[in-house]
Amino acid sequence: MSERRMQIGEVAERTGLSLRTIRHYEEVGLVTPSARSKGGFRLYTDRDVDRLMVVRRMKPLDFSLEEMRELLELIDQAADTRAAALSEDERVRLTERLEAYREVMDARCEALRARLEMAEDFAATLRRRVREVGAQRA
């Protein structure tokens, strides 16, 4: 049985990405449709959708396209290690690169948490001011 293939509209719906964004990610080499229909339409598999979701999750962490590309390659290599034997040196290098990206991701997540906390503090202050002004009118 062959894997189910989806057209770009369904992929956009499943990922929350626009058609334009998905096409852009293809143009810059982050994702490639698994096939094309006889009419030339892009066809994606669940694995392609998973890859797009990885990219989507990296975007708020301000990874550059080059960083995304490299990290996706590392993730692909890590997945391939189950089937192909890597030398010990290759496995160590792969682990070190993935760990470096994990550290960057952790730091960026922490920075986002700090920004969110500041935004929530501001929102709470603004809500108090609105209540105070409203109470003065009464």
pLDDT in tens, 15-50: 999 999 999 999 999 999 999 988 888 999 999 999
Fold annotation for 6-137: Multidrug-efflux Transporter Regulator; Chain: A; Domain 2 (1.10.1660)
Residue 124 pLDDT exceeds 90:
yes
| Residue 83 pLDDT | 52
Domain ranges of the chain: 6-137
User: pLDDT tens digits for 64-102?
Assistant: 999 999 999 999 888 876 656 778 888 899 999 999 999
| Phi/psi at 67 (5° precision) | -65, -40
Alpha-carbon distance 80 to 32, whole Å?
A: 18
Characterise 29 by phi-psi region: left (phi > 0), alpha (psi -120 to 50), beta (else): left
| Residue 103 pLDDT | 97
| Residue 81 pLDDT | 63
Residue 1 pLDDT exceeds 80:
no
